[in-house]
Amino acid sequence: MDNKPYLKKVRDQYESYPYPFRDPSQESRRLVEIAIERIDLINFYCFKGACNFNKFRVLVAGGGTGDSIIFLAEQLKHTTAELWYVDISQASMNIAKQRAEKRRLTNINWLHASLLSLDENIGKFDYISCTGVLHHLDDPLLGLKTLKNLLNDAGAMGLMLYGEYGRTGVYQMQQLMKMINVNENQLADKVINTKKILANLPETNWFTHNEKFLVDHINGEDNGLVDLLLHEQDRAYSILDVYQLLEQSALKFVEFSDVKMRMSYRPEQYINDSSLLKTIKQRPIKEQHGIAELLVGAFKKHEFYASMNADTKASFTELSNIPFFFPSEHYKNLGHQLANAILASPNKVISMKHSSGFEFDLSASQLNYTIFKNIDGKNTLQMIFDEIRKELKSETLNNEQLVAYICQCFKPFIQLDWILLKAS
Ligand SMILES: C[S@@+](CC[C@H](N)C(=O)[O-])C[C@H]1O[C@@H](n2cnc3c(N)ncnc32)[C@H](O)[C@@H]1O
């Protein structure tokens, strides 16, 4: 471990304060679900819905106290997928291992090492998760390139990097605490001093302005406070910086993994003037994201999938794909429920509210009734379209028209990841 490339000061920090704070005894009570690591979402966005996860190789780089590796291993425990965890912090790895033991997970390989030391000897991976790690490296680009070199040609990554503007105030606080703590050697004493400063932070302080978005120091025990305000190596990125980092690594941005985040990066959420909006919507998508980020100012992180390939998302034009409501464990019967709701109020409008808070109207038409009745996680699009033609006694509705109808009328469901696709 000691000859390998990593920042000693970062390792020391995570040995004393593993992040995020996790108590392995809690595993018997709850599973921490990490949105970006949901395999249905990874499959839909990164593998055209066509991955069956057998012999699937996963690397969690900088796995910390285990949130990502545990959630992935739980979802993949009935497959032949092979998972690898890597971190420089032994203390963090011990916590992650204890969590896995509590859950009797046996599909994880553990490596106490720097991600920068990984090479072809470990083999290539289909999916690499690296959340909240690259921005703590001396050279994040080198870190990303190292991981990209470990990716299979058709592989994908789940990445999270800090957002520059949403973290306004954090770096002033880090600098302030460095000055105040200049003569302190113990991290525990630095924590005490930080709490003293936080207790009487002037209203004008930039961190005070931003504190309602940045709560790790309140909700995350001392580990959260250290990670946020006393970090030894920490930087943040604008979304345009993120695109540049990806381009320099020959990777492509696939999609934001979180629905709220994805919707919030759309300028149309904030700009009412139609001619100004039209001009902005003509700009490349990354510039639209950059404009939304500066407009909102509160995105504290960028969480997204990346791949070497451009076209990795499952498509509604592939009629052998199966639509299903996501997350499937929450919405097993939603198709039938919506069909019944349409029956109860034909030709009216049904108000829909997604768990992310977004609302939209759904027309209670005969066509929608037939579609919903048939979305059961088993029927392919082709089967649903055939059923529509049979029930509506319409030979004139062809597949292209029905694809266009679904993409248009079901747009909110698709945008909100409420309906995903998997290959049959
Ligand atoms: C903020 S924590 C994030 C943990 C986890 N990925 C998550 O999202 O919960 C950063 C982790 O990266 C690890 N780390 C930092 N530099 C590393 C390196 N060069 N190689 C491997 N892990 C590293 C730290 O030890 C720490 O556990």
The CATH class for the domain spanning 8-164+236-307 reads: alpha beta
Q: Is 95 in the pocket of ligand 1 (CB under 6 A)?
A: no
For the Cβ of 136 lying below 6 angstroms from any atom of ligand 1, the answer is yes
CA of 60 to the centre of ligand 1 (A): 10
Residue whose Cα lies nearest atom 27 of ligand 1: it is: 64
Q: Is any ligand 1 atom within 6 A of the Cβ of residue 225? A: no
Residue 385, SS3 per DSSP = helix
Of 76, 51, 73, whose CA–CA distance to 63 is shortest? 73
Prior bond of 5 cis (ω within 30°): no
How far is residue 267 CA from its own chain's centroid? 20
Q: Is residue 107 within 8 Å of residue 76, measured between CB atoms?
A: yes
Q: For ligand 1, is residue 132 a contact (CB within 6 Å)?
A: yes
**Do 46 and 246 meet the contact criterion of CB atoms below 8 Å apart?**
no
The pLDDT value given to residue 1: 61
Q: Where are the domains of the chain?
A: 8-164+236-307, 166-229, 321-423
**Which residues neighbour 411 within 8 Å (Cβ) at sequence distance 6 or greater?**
none
Pocket perturbation via mutation, ligand 1, pick of 7, 88, 257 by most ligand atoms within 8 A of CB: 88
Would you say the CB of residue 118 lies under 6 angstroms from ligand 1? Answer: no
**C-alpha 346 – ligand 1 centre gap (Å):** 53
Give the Å distance between the CA of 345 and the centre of ligand 1: 52
Pocket test for ligand 1, best of 68, 88, 133, 227 (most atoms within 8 A of CB): 133
Give the separation between CA 28 and CA 255, rounded to whole angstroms: 33
| Residues counted in the chain | 424
- pLDDT of amino acid 142: 97
Instruction: Report the nearest atom of ligand 1 relative to the CA of 18.
Output: 27
Task: Give residue 68 CA to ligand 1 midpoint distance, Å.
Answer: 11
Contact present, 55 and 45 (Cβ < 8 Å): no
Helix, coil or strand: residue 399 = helix
CB 375 within 8 A of CB 325: yes
What is the pLDDT tens value at each position of the chain, 424 positions in all?
655 699 999 999 999 999 999 999 999 999 999 999 999 999 999 999 999 999 999 999 999 999 999 999 999 999 999 999 999 999 999 999 999 999 999 999 999 999 999 999 999 999 999 999 999 999 999 999 999 999 999 999 999 999 999 999 999 999 999 999 999 999 999 999 999 999 999 999 999 988 877 777 777 789 999 999 999 899 999 999 999 999 999 999 999 999 999 999 999 989 999 999 999 999 999 999 999 999 999 999 999 999 999 899 999 999 999 999 999 888 988 999 999 999 898 778 999 999 888 999 999 999 999 999 999 999 999 999 999 999 887 777 899 999 999 998 889 999 999 999 999 9
Q: Which two tokens stand for residue 418?
A: 């409420």
Give DSSP secondary structure letters for 81-141.
Answer: -EEEEEES-HHHHHHHHHHHHHTT---EEEEES-GGG--GGG--EEEEEEES-GGGSS-HH
Backbone angles phi, psi at 62, to 5 degrees: 70, 55
Establish whether residue 224 lines the binding site of ligand 1, counting it when its CB lies within 6 angstroms of any ligand atom: no
Q: Are 269 and 263 in contact (CB under 8 A)?
A: yes
Q: Phi, psi (5° rounding) for residue 295?
A: -65, -45
Specify the pLDDT at position 300: 95
> In Å, what is the CA distance from 186 to each residue of 34, 223, 349?
33, 14, 62
Ligand 1 centroid to Cα of residue 255, in Å, is 23
Closest C-alpha to ligand 1, atom 18: 114
Q: How far is the CA of 171 from the centre of ligand 1 (A)?
A: 19
Q: Which numbered atom of ligand 1 lies nearest the CA of 227? A: 1
Cβ of 17 below 6 Å from ligand 1: no
